[in-house]
């Protein structure tokens, strides 16, 4: 017999309502604090990183002497590549400021442009040898200090001398200094010079690593989930596997890095700092996440679907492959995308297998030395040059854009293909 609840008087009702209002207030306060923290984080990163997408350039009138660049007039690529291209850049700077005579002043003058100006000039000559023997205007990237000075609204001159500030004003008045989109940030690899550093090498390395991770983790995880959910019996061995899978999902990522270091590198001798090894390590880390999501999606399919297929004469395998798995695929894909997004932002496992190395060249295969975008951020954040601060924040913006896009894709797939039973 169920006894009726005792009647509530007015004071007790008011006390309950006050508790409910306080609980709602605490929830709103926690949510507001989280939103404020997120806004502060994003605004700080964007404020510091927006400068990485703009680059200051200085236009110089370059004169290429035939006798200095190609004295034998053979136009051989080997000869042109070995020529001295620093001298024409320095001569162009001295021509703009002929009053600079002292050696120290000349050194400060040469520091207006990046040390990579000679490489840009050599690249232009190799692409068009007809430039030899002519005078032409060419834009070169400004040095990191000049670039920060130009983009700083307060004209911070802590790294710029007074005479350099005067030369910069003259170049600005003559229209030789411009600030535009920094394409080099997206088309170049890493560099010791902040103004020359780019994220292309790290981006390609991340793409190759994620390709290996997806190619290994997705089919293995789906196969494991199908077996555990549809075919495995309820016994001690199966329960032991399930407990281990749940425990592996909570293991720190650096443990998987240590596993990759000892097994893939030391035992199997695979190439160090390669996307192949990085993808294998991240696949091990992602497997539990995808398996758990896939099992939840398979479990969400109503038993009536299985009973109907079996009743019409389908085998157990046909029932799973033709009916259960297609219906659970949207949830499986959502879990896979979330797991890949988690793997994309991992740094510790990649550090353990050597992907922290300084890599300038763009990787062309899965076995080439490479780095990843999170590791590149870690390297730039540890650099002493202050110009790497905006490079670090700019790379973080790119990484966050990828992570937000992947999570948005997961949400879209879930909303579009979700079936409510």
Helices (H), 174-274: 184-187, 200-226, 236-248, 253-260
> What average pLDDT does this structure show over 104-121?
92
Taking the C-alpha atoms of residue 149 and residue 40, their distance in angstroms, rounded to an integer, is: 25
Q: What pLDDT score was predicted for residue 199?
A: 94
Q: Taking 90 as the threshold, does the pLDDT of residue 204 lie above it?
A: yes
Identify the residue whose tokens are 């070995």: 82
> What average pLDDT does this structure show over 64-89?
88
Q: Taking 90 as the threshold, does the pLDDT of residue 26 lie above it?
A: yes
Q: How many CA atoms lie within 13 A of 155 on its CB side?
A: 7
Kind and range of the H or E run holding 139: strand 135-141
Q: What pLDDT score was predicted for residue 414?
A: 77
> What average pLDDT does this structure show over 130-138?
91
Q: Which residue has the higher pLDDT, 399 or 4?
A: 399
* CATH numeric code, 200-417: 1.10.3720.10
Q: What pLDDT score was predicted for residue 9?
A: 62
Q: How far lies 279's CA from each of 115, 287, 289, 369, 370, in Å? A: 36, 12, 15, 13, 12
Q: Taking 60 as the threshold, does the pLDDT of residue 8 lie above it?
A: no
Q: What pLDDT score was predicted for residue 1?
A: 56
Which of 147-151, 164-168, 284-288, 354-358 shows the lowest per-residue confidence on average (mean pLDDT)?
A: 354-358
Q: Taking 90 as the threshold, does the pLDDT of residue 3 lie above it?
A: no
Q: Taking 50 as the threshold, does the pLDDT of residue 13 lie above it?
A: yes
**Whose CA is closest to 352, among 404, 282, 402, 419?**
282
Q: How far lies 393's CA from each of 13, 41, 158, 193, 352, in Å? A: 53, 11, 22, 16, 24
Q: pLDDT, tens digit, for every residue of 332-366?
A: 988 899 899 889 988 889 988 888 878 888 999 99
Q: Taking 90 as the threshold, does the pLDDT of residue 17 lie above it?
A: no
Structure tokens at 88: 């024409």
**Phi then psi dihedrals of residue 199, to 5 deg:** -110, 5
How big is the chain, counted in residues?
Answer: 421
Q: What pLDDT score was predicted for residue 138?
A: 94
Q: Which residue has the higher pLDDT, 5 or 251?
A: 251
Q: Taking 50 as the threshold, does the pLDDT of residue 201 lie above it?
A: yes
Q: Taking 50 as the threshold, does the pLDDT of residue 134 lie above it?
A: yes
> What average pLDDT does this structure show over 309-319?
91
Structure tokens at 263: 């097994």
Q: What pLDDT score was predicted for residue 156?
A: 53
Q: Taking 80 as the threshold, does the pLDDT of residue 10 lie above it?
A: no
CB 118 within 8 A of CB 86: yes
pLDDT tier at 12, thresholds 50, 70, 90: confident
> What average pLDDT does this structure show over 305-317?
90
> What average pLDDT does this structure show over 187-201?
91
Structure tokens at 125: 């000559």
Q: What percent of the chain has pLDDT over 70?
A: 95
Identify the residue whose tokens are 């990183």: 49
Q: Taking 90 as the threshold, does the pLDDT of residue 417 lie above it?
A: no
Provide the residue ranges of all domains of the chain, joining segments of one domain with +.
51-182, 200-417
2: left (phi over 0), alpha (psi -120 to 50) or beta: beta
Q: Mention every residue, 6+ apart, whose C-beta is less than 8 A from residue 67.
A: none
Taking the C-alpha atoms of residue 293 and residue 309, their distance in angstroms, rounded to an integer, is: 24
Q: pLDDT, tens digit, for every residue of 243-289?
A: 999 888 888 889 999 999 999 999 999 998 899 999 999 999 999 99
Taking the C-alpha atoms of residue 55 and residue 285, their distance in angstroms, rounded to an integer, is: 38
Q: Mention every residue, 6+ apart, whose C-beta is less than 8 A from residue 139.
A: 57, 58, 59, 60, 178
For residue 335, count other CB atoms closer than 10 A to its CB.
26
> What average pLDDT does this structure show over 109-120?
92
Q: Taking 50 as the threshold, does the pLDDT of residue 154 lie above it?
A: no
């Amino acid at each position: 017999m169920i006894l009726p609840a005792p009647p509530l008087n007015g004071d007790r009702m008011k006390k309950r309502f006050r508790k409910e209002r306080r609980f709602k207030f605490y929830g709103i306060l926690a949510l507001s604090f989280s939103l404020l923290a997120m806004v502060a984080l994003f605004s700080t990163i964007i404020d510091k990183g927006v400068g990485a997408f703009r680059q200051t350039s200085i236009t110089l009138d370059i004169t290429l002497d035939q006798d200095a660049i190609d004295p034998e007039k053979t136009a051989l690529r080997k000869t042109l590549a070995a020529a001295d291209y620093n001298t024409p850049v320095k001569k162009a700077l001295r021509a703009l400021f002929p009053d600079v005579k002292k050696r120290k002043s000349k050194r400060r003058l040469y520091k207006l442009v990046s040390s990579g100006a000679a490489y840009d000039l050599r690249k232009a000559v190799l692409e068009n040898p007809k430039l030899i023997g002519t005078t032409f205007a060419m834009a070169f990237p400004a040095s990191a200090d000049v670039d920060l000075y130009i983009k700083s609204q307060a004209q911070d001159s802590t790294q710029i001398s007074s005479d350099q500030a005067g030369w910069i004003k003259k170049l600005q008045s003559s229209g030789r200094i411009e600030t535009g989109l920094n394409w080099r940030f997206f088309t170049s690899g890493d560099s010791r010079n902040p103004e020359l550093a780019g994220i292309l090498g790290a981006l390609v390395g991340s793409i190759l690593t994620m390709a290996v991770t997806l190619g290994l983790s997705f089919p293995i995880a789906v196969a494991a989930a199908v077996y555990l959910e549809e075919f495995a019996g309820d016994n001690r061995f199966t329960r032991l596997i399930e407990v281990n899978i749940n425990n592996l999902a909570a293991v720190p990522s650096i443990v998987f890095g240590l596993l990759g270091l000892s097994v893939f590198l030391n035992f199997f001798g695979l190439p160090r700092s390669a996307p192949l090894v990085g993808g294998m390590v991240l696949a091990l880390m992602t497997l539990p996440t995808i398996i758990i999501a896939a099992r939840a999606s398979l479990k969400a399919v109503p038993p009536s679907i299985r009973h109907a297929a079996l009743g019409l004469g389908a085998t157990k395998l046909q029932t799973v492959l033709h009916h259960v798995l297609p219906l659970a695929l949207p949830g499986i894909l959502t879990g896979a995308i979330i797991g890949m997004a988690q793997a994309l932002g991992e740094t510790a496992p990649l550090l353990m297998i050597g992907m922290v190395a300084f890599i300038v060249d763009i990787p062309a295969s899965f076995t080439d030395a490479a780095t990843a975008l999170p590791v590149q951020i870690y390297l730039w954040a540890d650099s002493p040059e202050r110009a790497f601060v905006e490079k670090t924040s700019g790379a973080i913006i790119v990484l966050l854009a990828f992570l937000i896009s992947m999570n948005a894709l997961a949400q879209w797939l879930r909303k579009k293909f979700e079936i409510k039973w």
